[in-house]
Amino acid sequence: MTYVRPKFRHPELKKNKLGYTLSYYEGALSTLCAGCGHDSISAGIVQACYDLDIEPHKVAKLSGIGCSSKTPAYFLSNSHGFNSVHGRMPSVATGANLANRELKYIGISGDGDTASIGMGQFVHVIRRNLNMLYIVMNNGCYGLTKGQDSATADEGSKNKTGHVNLFQSIDLASLAIELGATFVAQSFSGDKKQLVPLIKAAMKHQGFAFINVISPCVTFNNNVGSTKSYDYVREHVEATGTVDFVPAMKEITADYAEGNTEHVVLHDGSMIELHKLAQGWDPHNRISAMNAVHHAKSKGEILTGLLYMEHESKDLHDMLGTTGKALNTLGKDVLCPGSAKLKELNASLR
Amino acid sequence: MPAGNSTVNDFVVRFANVNGTGSASANFLFTKSIFRMGIPVTPKNIFPSNIQGLPTWYEVRVSEKGYLGRREGIDLMVCVNPQSMMQDVNNVKEGGYFLYDSTKKLHDEFIRSDINYIGIPLMEMCNREFTDPRQRQLFKNIIYVGALCALLDIEVAVFEDLFKEQFKGKEKLVAPNMKALQMGIDYTKEHFKCPLPIRVERRNLLKDAIMTDGNSACGLGAVYGGATVVAWYPITPSTSVAEAFNDYAEEYRVDPQTGKKNFAIVQAEDELAAMGMVIGAGWNGARAFTATSGPGVSLMNEFLGLAYFAEVPAVLIDVQRAGPSTGMPTRVQQSDIMEAAYASHGDTKHILVIPSTPKECFDMTAEALDLAEQLQTPVMVMTDLDLGMNDHVSPPFEWDDNRIYHRGKVLTADYLENMPRFGRYLDVDGDGIPYRTYPGTHPTKGAFFTRGTSRDEYAVYTEDAAAYKRNMDRLVLKWETAKKMVPAPEVYQHKNHQGNGMLFYGTSKYAAEEAMELLKEDGIHLDAIRIKSFPFNHTVEQFIATHDKIFVVEQNRDAQMRSLLMIELGISPEKLVPVLNYDGMPITADAIMKGIKNNLVNKVKEGQLS
């Protein structure tokens, strides 16, 4: 059952530059469990799109199968959505993006949808540097089938039934860095302050932007002994730094201590202000980023924040050399070579 | 010497080569020379699933009567592969000819008293004349073409033209090729009586026909049909469809000013991803297709179900090969019919179009792109290895410049602006086909959520039994609409109403048409119908209803099309007699005639034939 959110809003609600209120960016009422981390991430996407003055209909949201993959119904109801098949969102997003490069693409996946059944497509969408935001709502379990371990569950982590996971976990953020993703961040659904600017930066990034969000499953994996519970994650989060998003054209007035702040200019002129906390970490150096993630891990910590990004990256369209226009707008005049060419071709086949 | 079989423009030549030795271009040169003399000719590659070093054959049938199917019985074997020599000797028809490299003496075990031997010292001649090892290899092939030129009386000037065309821009290569050809001609004329009793004579029967392969034609059809997104994964025998699309698109679809491409082609990580990309692109308003073979269709099943249920256009070109499993990847079959027709779990049915010629590959690929968008569903072009990878004499490609792309029921921003609530799955027109919107069309109207789960007319998720059933029933109504839109069958009326009929499809056309003609000589007159699509339209139903018995000719073991006819039209099994060929080789008229005669004769014995 899908619930319809009440439409009534206070008439004096703040509006963004497009004249839309925050509520305009919301979706249907969530049917996920009360307290589910995923809903906070949906709220983060709503906030980010509102803040960035994005036209909702210029966004396409895609997902696979699972609790996380249901969430595109719960944000941006004025965007087209595509809830595809399990583990295959990346390929559908690739085709969609090829068809129309002018939209923004948000892909939502889960740890089962990405790290197990969808691992192949995840790996290859990174290779192609598809221009999209890819969020994994990572809770270490299969919520929709009642709590089985997923491939991101940590070795030794205990779930609600007391079952202890025997296997090594797959660390999606380090994998993404290793595979050449051009924007990689990690966050926690309980930390909206960090998550929203990361989503904004990721949406402005030209190329594949990946955010692995630890998002506890309140129903099946929020118990003592789980390494994906709210309590455990809160206690073990270590941030690379804080991130602020500065829209294009805005004068930077804030004053930060020299050496700790970096301004990363994005392709449209907007900026990320990065206040570094992690020592010896360079977000533009893949090896350094990898070291930082592994270093934190060795201490039993989860490193969050921006982990790695490239200033300039060639996305799939750049690599393929496709036209700047959306392919879905091209007409017969451009697409069809016509009968005269066909006559020439026939002659060459005789 | 045994008496040779004497015929003009009616024989089969088979070349026995080692793959990876450049024989393909020499063999094609031979075929093309006969084509240029206006004589119907049909080549078949019989090749291994291997890159270098294994036996490969190239069989050329020359037929003045225009029979373009394969025919059993080799009149002339050109054997340049010692590996397969025993088999090759044995395959020559009684009274036929065996051309071999006589540089080394032929062993006694290869000598048959009922065939004629033509020894040409290919290696010796090459080694004497050419020093470069690669040249020796390539010119050896041209020397045997020269021998055939003399033996079969092919016009030398035709070869000269072909070389000039082939080496345009590299004119230096014409002379050595002509020299090698002449060496073959001279040696053969000096040592053997030329021409042989089997030979060619110019006929100019082919008029404006072209010679090309079905895969190139599909790729070209997709360019003309407006496909902009292509996703594929390499698999024999479909790979050259995507490659042909790419080649033609590089030629016709690159903006001369910017150098940017008006198409995107992606080699996916597997067939699942390839289909996913096609569906993503189709959903987003681009014409998209993939090409694959049976194993790929198996992998794409889940996505095909999604596209069926969520109603997303997608085109899949299935170049069928011999299954099951990996089967015989370089041999032909029509054995994906069932799997394609009902691909995916749940109640699904898919549109199939079935070409028989390169021209139909071109036409039907372009048409499939229309149908997929008009019907908002996957459309599969069911070609096969024989059609896809072998060259065929075909009517020329045609394109009407006034033709428009039928993009189906898509709502524009203006339309949305003035309409009440948009219902993605609402059957407004009563034909089962709803209206759709592309993402990004209108700021506040027309957005909807596409999903593989059940939904109501407004694309809202539901588990309501009535809403689910309404949707499933609308899809059946859409299927009925499709029957009026898919390509109509070709009917061959031989004034045999109420009697026996023959039904066939795809590349069985060639052998079936030949069988029809030859059966007439035996007093057996059959009406026939060539199916070009699924669902079956009214004409197919009519044809079956108006005949007592239908021979269903297919290239698979389980008579899959026969099953489809039984299931979809409720035809009694007794009425449909399977005539099958499933050894991986293209079906022959002989096999069809045997199947039909066996049935008719047996029935006579049982006293059932009126």
| Domain range annotation of chain B | 7-199, 212-394, 409-486, 490-605
Q: Which token pair is B447?
A: 């957005």
Give the C-alpha separation, A168 to A127, whole Å. Answer: 24
Residue identified by tokens 């009697």 is B499
Positive or negative, the CA dihedral B52, B56, B60, B61 is: negative
Q: How far, in Å, CA of A127 to CA of A175, rounded?
A: 12
Q: Which residue of B has its CA nearest to A94?
A: B277
Task: Give yes or no for a contact between B540 and B566, defined as CB atoms under 8 angstroms apart.
Answer: no
- DSSP reduced 3-state for A170: coil
Residue B65 burial (CB count, 10 A): 12
Å between B284 CA and nearest CA of chain A: 5
Residue B609 has pLDDT above 50, yes or no: no
Instruction: State ipTM.
Output: 0.95
Q: How far apart are CA A141 and CA B258, in angstroms?
A: 49
What is the CATH architecture assignment of B490-605? Answer: 3-Layer(aba) Sandwich (3.40)
User: Does the distance separating the beta carbons of A57 and B442 come in below 8 Å?
Assistant: yes
Residue B47 neighbours by CB under 8 Å, 6+ apart: B19, B56, B57, B330
In this complex, the residue of A83, A99, A121 whose CB is nearest that of residue B286 is: A99
pLDDT tens, residue by residue, A98-136: 999 999 999 999 999 999 999 999 999 999 999 999 999
Which residues of chain A make contact with B453, given a CB cutoff of 8 A? Answer: 83
CB A215 within 8 A of CB A38: yes
Whether residue B331 has pLDDT greater than 60? yes
Q: Report CB contact under 8 Å: B281, A96.
A: yes
CA quadruple B163, B167, B168, B171: dihedral sign: negative
- The minimum CA-CA distance between A261 and chain B, rounded to whole Å, is 38
How far is the alpha carbon of B448 from chain A, nearest alpha carbon, in Å? 5
Radius of gyration of chain A (CA): 21
For residue B447, the chain A residue with the least C-alpha distance is A80
Provide the token pair at B236. Answer: 């024999």
> Which of B144, B213, B179 has the alpha carbon at shortest distance from B358?
B213
Q: Which tokens sit at B91? A: 């395959």
How far apart (Å, rounded) are the C-alpha atoms in residues B187 and B120?
8
The residues, ordered by sequence, that sit 6+ positions from A90 with a Cβ below 8 Å of its Cβ are A107, A118, A121, A122, A124, A125, A130, A134, B273, B276
The reply to whether residue B226 touches residue A124, judged by beta carbons under 8 angstroms, is no
- Give the homologous superfamily in CATH for domain A22-320: Thiamin diphosphate (ThDP)-binding fold, Pyr/PP domains (3.40.50.970)
Q: Specify the residue for token string 């609790």.
A: A67
Render pLDDT for B468-513 as a digit per residue (tens, 0 to 9).
999 999 999 999 999 999 999 999 987 776 699 999 999 999 999 9
Contact (CB, 8 A) for B509 and B554: no
| Chain A CB contacts of B395 below 8 Å | none
Q: What residue spans define the domains of chain A?
A: 22-320
CA B441-B444-B446 angle, 5° bins: 55
Q: Are A171 and A155 in contact (CB under 8 A)?
A: no
List chain B residues with CB under 8 Å of A328: 228, 281, 284-286, 438
Q: Please tell me if residue B459 touches chain A, with a CB cutoff of 8 Å.
A: no
How many Cα atoms within 13 Å fall on the side-chain side of residue B175?
2
The residue among B341, B320, B576, B357 whose CA lies nearest residue B482 is: B341
Is 90 exceeded by the pLDDT of residue A177? Answer: yes
The reply to whether domains B7-199 and B490-605 share a CATH topology is no
Could you tell me the two tokens for B379?
């459309």
CA distance B310 to chain A (A): 9
Does A320 sit within 8 Å of B264, measured CB to CB? yes
Spatial CA neighbour of B195 closest among B252, B135, B139, B154: B154
Q: Do B284 and A99 touch (CB under 8 A)?
A: yes
Q: Which residues of A touch B248 (CB under 8 A)?
A: 337
Tell whether the model's pLDDT for residue A255 goes beyond 80.
no
Q: Could you tell me which chain B residue has the CA closest to the CA of A330?
A: B262
Residue B4 is predicted with a pLDDT of 59
* Chain B residues whose beta carbon lies within 8 Å of the beta carbon of residue A339: 398-401
Distance from CA of A28 to the nearest CA of B (A): 10
Residue B457 in tokens: 């007319």
Whether residues B276 and A84 touch (CB distance < 8 A) is answered with yes
Q: Is A133 helix (H, G, I), strand (E, B) or coil?
A: strand
Q: State pLDDT tens for residues A258-288.
A: 456 777 777 777 877 777 777 788 889 999 9
CA–CA separation, B254 vs B555, rounded Å? 40
pLDDT band at B394 (very low <50, low <70, confident <90, very high): very high
Q: Kindly state the greatest CA–CA separation across chain B.
A: 88
CA atoms within 13 A on the CB side of A161: 7
Which DSSP category does A168 fall into?
Answer: P
pLDDT of B433 over the 70 cut: yes
Q: Which residue of B has its CA nearest to A100?
A: B284
pLDDT at residue B141 is higher than 50:
yes
For residues B328-341, give the mean pLDDT: 97
Contact present, A69 and A108 (Cβ < 8 Å):
yes
Residues of A whose CB is below 8 A from B224: 336-337, 342
A278-292, A310-324, B381-395, B566-580: the lowest-pLDDT one: A278-292
Please report which helix (H) or strand (E) contains residue B509, including its range: helix B508-521
SS3 of residue A231 by DSSP: helix
User: Of B231, B404, B451, which is closest to A95 when you measure between CB atoms?
Assistant: B231
CATH H-level, domain B7-199: superfamily: Pyruvate-ferredoxin oxidoreductase, PFOR, domain III (3.40.920.10)
For residue A7, name the pLDDT band (cuts at 50, 70, 90): low
Q: What pLDDT is attached to residue A277?
A: 76
What was the pLDDT predicted at B1? 56
Average pLDDT over residues A231-240: 91
A113 to chain B, closest Cα gap in Å = 14
Chain B residues lying within 8 Å of A26, measured CB to CB: none
Both tokens of residue B502? 């023959």
Q: Is B256 on the interface with A (CB under 8 A)?
A: no
Residue B610, pLDDT score: 40
Q: Which of A51-60, A161-170, A248-257, B349-358 has the lowest mean pLDDT?
A: A248-257
Please state, in angstroms and rounded to a whole number, the distance separating the CA atoms of residues A67 and A86: 11
| DSSP code, position A26 | B
Kindly provide the residue ranges of all beta strands, DSSP E only, lying in B330-371, ordered along the sequence: 351-353
pLDDT in tens, B213-264: 999 999 999 999 999 999 999 999 999 999 999 999 999 999 999 999 999 9
User: In b/e form, how buried is each residue of B77-98, taking b as 16+ CB within 10 angstroms?
Assistant: bbbbbbebbeebbebbbebbbb
Return the residue matching tokens 């966050």: A187
What angle, 0 to 180 degrees and rounded to 10, lies between the N-to-C axes of helices A119-127 and A172-179? 40
- What homologous superfamily is domain B212-394 in, according to CATH? Thiamin diphosphate (ThDP)-binding fold, Pyr/PP domains (3.40.50.970)
Closest by CA to B119, choosing from B79, B88, B171, is: B79
- Of A307, A266, A261, A270, the residue nearest A285 (C-alpha): A307
Cβ-based contacts of B272 with chain A (< 8 Å) = 88, 91, 121
- B397 vs A: CB within 8 A: yes
Inter-chain residue contact A327 with B451, CB threshold 8 Å: no
Q: How far is B103 from chain A (nearest CA, A)?
A: 36
Sign of the alpha-carbon torsion through B580, B585, B587, B591: negative
How far A304 CA lies from chain B's nearest CA (Å)? 31
Nearest neighbour of B277 by CB, restricted to A58, A94, A349: A94
> Where residue A252 falls among pLDDT bands split at 50, 70, 90?
very low
Sort strands B378-384 and B449-451 into parallel, antiparallel or unpaired: unpaired
**Cα atoms in the Cβ-side hemisphere of radius 13 Å centred on B580:** 15
Contact A349 B276 (CB under 8 A): no
Note whether A85 contacts B306, CB cutoff 8 Å.
Answer: yes
Contact B184, B208 (CB under 8 A): no
- Residue where the block lists tokens 């002339």: B76
Percent of chain A with pLDDT over 90: 81
For the entire predicted model, the pTM comes to 0.96
Q: How far apart are CA B369 and CA B381, in angstroms?
A: 10
Residue B235 in contact with residue A348, Cβ under 8 Å?
no
pLDDT tens-place string over residues B36-75: 999 999 999 998 888 888 899 999 999 999 999 999 999 9
Q: Are B248 and B219 contacting, i.e. CB atoms less than 8 angstroms apart?
A: yes
Q: Do B277 and A91 touch (CB under 8 A)?
A: yes
Tell me: the pLDDT tens digits for B166-204? 999 999 999 999 999 999 999 999 999 999 999 999 999
Q: Residue A350: closest CA among chain B residues belongs to which residue?
A: B210
Of A94, A122, A325, the closest CA to residue B229 belongs to A94
Which two structure tokens, joined as six digits, stand for A180? 């050449």
**Cα dihedral across residues B233, B299, B297, B350: positive or negative:** negative
Which residue of A85, A89, A124, A341 to mutate against B (max B Cβ within 10 Å)?
A85
Provide, as residue numbers in chain B, all residues whose Cβ is less than 8 Å from the Cβ of A23. none
Name which of B228, B303, B365 to mutate to probe chain A: the one with the most chain A Cβ atoms within 10 A of its Cβ.
B228
- Chain B residue with Cα closest to A84: B451
Distance between CA atoms of residues B573 and B116, nearest Å: 49
Task: Choose the mutation target among B258, B445, B449 for the interface with A, i.e. most A CBs under 10 Å.
Answer: B449
Using one digit for the tens of pLDDT, what is the confidence trace for A283-320? 899 999 999 999 998 988 999 999 999 988 999 999 99
Which of A328, A330, A346 lies nearest to residue B396, judging by beta carbons?
A346
Mean pLDDT for chain B overall: 95
**Both tokens of residue A340?**
């005269």
| CB-defined contacts A:B, below 8 A | 231
Q: Give how far A171 is from chain B: nearest CA, Å.
A: 22
Gap between the terminal Cα atoms of chain B: 49
Chain A contact present for B41, CB below 8 A: no
Chain A partners within 8 Å of B270 (Cβ): 120
- With vertex at residue B473, the alpha carbon angle to CA B470 and CA B474, rounded to the nearest 5 degrees, is 85
How close are the terminal C-alpha atoms of chain A, in Å? 63
Nearest-Cα distance to chain B for A49, in Å, is: 14
CB contact under 8 A, B280 and A98: yes
Using the predicted structure, report yes or no on whether residue B434 has a pLDDT greater than 80: yes
Are B284 and A73 a contacting pair at CB < 8 A?
Answer: no
Amino acid at B265: I
Residue B20 has pLDDT above 60, yes or no: yes
What letter does residue A6 receive in the DSSP assignment?
P
Residue type, B375: L
pLDDT band with cut points at 50, 70 and 90 for residue A68:
very high
**Inter-chain touch A323–B258, beta carbons under 8 Å:** yes
| A184 to chain B, closest Cα gap in Å | 22
pLDDT tens digits along B85-103 = 999 999 999 999 999 999 9
Measure CB to CB from residue B228 to each of A81, A330, A350 and give the nearest one.
A330
What confidence score (pLDDT) does residue A267 get?
Answer: 75
Q: Which residue of A has its CA nearest to B35?
A: A350
Arithmetic mean of pLDDT over chain A: 91
Nearest one of B552, B581, B583, B584 to B565, comparing CA atoms? B552
Tokens of A133: 């935001």
- Determine the Cα angle at B483 with ends B480 and B488, to 5°: 170
What secondary structure does DSSP assign to A98-127, as a single string? HH-TTSEEEEEEEHHHHHTTTHHHHHHHHH
- Mapping DSSP to helix (H, G, I), strand (E, B) and coil, where does residue A183 land? strand
- Residues of A with Cβ-Cβ distance to B451 under 8 angstroms: 81-83
